[in-house]
Amino acid sequence: MTTSAALHGAVELLDRSLAYTRVVLADVRCDGLDRPTPCAGWSLADLLAHMEDALDAFTEAAAGHVEVAPVPPTGTRVDALREKACALLGAWAAARSAPGAVEVGGLGLDAPTLVATAALEITLHGWDVGQTTGRRTRIPADLAQGLLAVAHHVIDATDRDRRFAAPRPARPDAPPDVRLLSWTGRTPVHMTEPLRGNSTEPTAHPGLAS
């Protein structure tokens, strides 16, 4: 697969991840920002700030370089997230030729992998938000299936206990969203819809996430 074709596929995955996350963000309320999230030690306000920072970084990456800087406090975080989500998708959709490698923290990462990683992070944190607000919308099966390969590629042992908890057990025939959440250290027990297939539902609290 050419870099251009791989980038097109990654942008399509990003589009679907943003569509899913925009839905769950609709339930965020100012009086609930102190709620704990599935990301251990993070309140909903902390998680939203991290998501905004990530959107900025992934958007900058379309120009081939990312400068990591903290996001200033704001009282309109959800509105900012919606605007930045559109900017992120637009920046990569408009890229006619991807940079050979994007420099992130002194390391080079190929553009399709970076965009696919953005889709993974945005989807996972969208799920985290949904668990926190009570919407608990499941990750669509086709999106989860596409992200599974990304998660297995980009999450290795060095990420565990630092950005992700240890993987949770899940049967090979479990639904894609259960396998994705389990691999990323989350406990997929709170579901709006019934689970399909045989799956293990561990009781441990999910740990850190990127």
Segment 129-154, tens digit of pLDDT: 999 999 899 999 999 999 999 999 98
* Tokens of residue 149, six digits: 């390969």
The rounded Cα 112 to chain-centroid distance in angstroms is 15
Instruction: Render pLDDT for 48-81 as a digit per residue (tens, 0 to 9).
Output: 999 988 888 888 887 765 655 555 555 557 888 8
Does the pLDDT value for residue 111 go beyond 50?
Answer: yes
Q: What share of the chain is helix, strand, coil (3-state, %, to 5)?
A: 55, 5, 40
**What's the whole-number average pLDDT of the chain?**
79
* Residues above pLDDT 90, as percent of the chain: 35
Element (H, E) at 85: helix 77-93
Q: How far apart are CA 96 and CA 182, in angstroms?
A: 36
Residue 108 parent element (H or E): strand 107-109
List of domains in the chain:
3-138 (1.20.120.450)
Contacts within 8 Å (CB) and 24+ apart, 107-111? 110/3, 111/3, 111/7, 111/10, 111/61
The pLDDT of residue 82 is 83
Read off the pLDDT of each residue in 175-198 and give the average, rounded to a whole number: 72
| Phi, psi torsion values for 88, nearest 5 degrees | -60, -50
At 27, the amino acid letter reads: D
Q: What is the 3-state secondary structure (H, E, C) of 188-199?
A: CCCCCCCCCCCC
| Burial (0-12, 13-18, 19+ Cβ within 10 Å), 47 | buried
Using CB atoms within 10 Å of the CB of residue 8, give its burial: 0 to 12 exposed, 13 to 18 middle, 19+ buried.
middle
